[in-house]
Amino acid sequence: MIWLAVAGPAFAEPYHWPLDLPREITSSFGEYRTGRFHAGIDLRTSGIGRDVRAADDGHVSRVRCSPFGYGKAVYLLLRDGRSVVYAHLDDYYDELRDYVRQGQHAARSYTVDLFPEPGRFPVKRGQIIAKSGQTGTGAPHLHYEIRDPAERPIHPRLLGVVWPDQRRPEIQRILIAPDGPASAVNGSVLPAILDVEHLGGGRYRSAPVRVRGGAGFGADVVDPAPGGSRLGIYRMRLLEGEKEHFRLQHDVISYDDNHNAAVAYHPFYLGEGRFLLLWRWPGNQSASYAHSPGDGWLRAPTERTEVVIAAEDCADNAASVVIPIIPDDDAPEPAVTGGGNGTGAAELRCVGTMLALIITFTEPEPEAPMVTVDAGVEALVPCRRVDDRHFEAAFAPRRAGAHALRAAHPRMKPFEHVFKVALRGEAETRFALTDDVLLETRPNSPYGVIFAWADQVGESPASPARRLSPVWRIHPAETPIDAPVTLSFPAPSGVDRPERVHVYRLRGGGWSCLDTTRDGGRFRIATRAFGAYALLEDDTPPAIANISPPQQYQAKTKRPIIAATITDAASGIAAYEVTAGGVWLLTAYDPDQNRITWERDHDLPSGPQEIVFRVTDKAGNVAAAKRTVIIPQ
């Protein structure tokens, strides 16, 4: 082992800084990730191979190695009962590397998750335990995470881990959303998104906002850092005068509910900004949202007033935006005289826990459409005029099941939209979205409510896998889901090898193979995402290319470079194996480069050795390649 003598000011801190580099973070605790909060801080390493040091006395409690996620990671259990996680490493210290390799050979797998017995690998404060890298991720950095005894990540700044931070957060835009069908912001049931004016010194101001009923507030906020990084914030508060109405604060994150970050940012407006919400979405159990007793919705005042959104980073740098609020509970609808010569069209939008129907006429229209909802009994839905050509109606369901929303007007085609509703806390539901597509939900699947409907898509991207079904698009694609729902699709006829058939989801212009089960003649997936799905059959083996060494290679060492590029354009790589003379070789996989490389952790026997590469895709197709290498004496 390598030891570091630590003296002087370093011991004034509760934990030793993990790198012998300037203290610069590139990602903050609680920062936005797709569907989750970042559970640690990322430290800039400007390359790989930097010494990584133990935070304090303790022992190695866990060590992982994987091509994905945290990559190579070391977990220390410290003497104070907390744990520290170091991730995306390039290498472990000598004794730990040997231990990991023994586990990998025993499991015949590069991917391992090992738990050495307490005391086997003791560490001292400041001891070098690893080298920084970029495993499991695309860019070199060190992920540093401190957990409490319950394995919940804690904001490291709260524990005395500090780094320079003198820049204020920057408020970019704000979002203000009505709290229900009877409320409105600037006369609309849709959320209002407003630019803000920077007044200097971290102070911002928005244009006045008219609010009827109740509203919720959110802000798109970033915390600039050296090197161009744009971090997340630590705390955001909604203030009425001097009174704190609601607070979001990232102190502790639990992996059990970290996916609740899907409703910390408005999921239906991510295309317009990362609006961190100052209201608690139904079902959001995140500890970051447990600091205020209410749900965050603010009732419209009876007279003109101002509310403030205040944002702070973990070094107490602050910014705030003042939002003038004008009550308009008694404001009459805009009046129209004349007109009536245009034609109307309806557009449906999901804005979270309600559906909004937007009806637009080509000319001023004096007569409001009639909007109804049928959930077994037809009921009238209020339809309000927004201006001389626009009308809006909003619907929030009170029961689960099938619904039909209809709009009628003499100067527009009849509109009807059929959809299914699942409500949080109600019994498990099973809906036929089409004749083919079934949706099953659990009581805690909806964040308040799930609206769902489906249709078929005519065109879809090409794929090496053969499409066996229509492309079904499940709407709304932005729907956040708490407990995974089940989607199932009928098995296509004439399939000889059903194990080669999976449900695929359309992502980023291509098809992604999903974990699929077959039950009762149906193909099923568990998911937290709606979108476009289809059944595809992959009967094409993976490809093995760029093989090293070449055939009949005369090696100059007993540990030659053995590597290959492996790809599968359809279902994706499920497993790979490399052997030399029938002996399993420990081979790392770099998914960014599609490259597998022998770790060269032992000598090969002298003489001719047959190297066999074997790769299996998720559909069970297998590819193999062989090379003979002559190993010297």
Mean pLDDT of the chain: 94
**543-566 pLDDT, tens digit each:** 999 999 999 999 999 999 999 999
The pLDDT confidence band at residue 330, using thresholds 50, 70 and 90, is low
Helix (H) or strand (E) holding 94, with range, is: helix 94-107
Calculate mean pLDDT across residues 445-466: 92
Query: Do 424 and 283 meet the contact criterion of CB atoms below 8 Å apart?
Result: yes
Q: Is the pLDDT of residue 139 over 80?
A: yes
How far, in whole angstroms, is CA 178 from its chain's centroid?
Answer: 26
**Structural domain boundaries in the chain:** 8-159, 170-327, 344-409, 424-537, 543-631
The answer as to CATH 2.70.70.10 being correct for domain 8-159 is yes
420: Cβ contacts below 8 Å, ≥ 6 apart: 401, 402, 403, 429, 431, 433, 439, 451, 452, 453
Residues 51-105 have pLDDT tens digits of 999 999 999 999 999 999 999 999 999 999 999 999 999 999 999 999 999 999 9
Query: Model's pTM, two decimal places?
Result: 0.93
- Segment 123-137 shows an average pLDDT of 97
* Residue 73 to residue 115: CA distance in whole angstroms: 12
* Cβ 235 vs Cβ 249: under 8 Å: yes
| CB 52 within 8 Å of CB 131 | yes
Instruction: Give just the sign of the alpha carbon dihedral 301, 304, 305, 307.
Output: positive
Domain 424-537 sits in CATH at 2.60.220.30
Residues 362-403 have pLDDT tens digits of 999 999 999 999 999 999 999 999 999 999 999 999 999 999
Q: Report whether CATH 3.90.1150.10 matches the domain 543-631.
A: no
pLDDT value, residue 6: 34
Can you read off the two tokens belonging to residue 208?
A: 């006045």
38 contacts 30 by C-beta, under 8 angstroms: yes
Cis peptide before 476 (omega within 30 of 0): yes
**Three-class SS of residue 237?**
strand
**Cβ contacts of residue 273 below 8 Å, gap of 6+?**
172, 173, 175, 193, 220
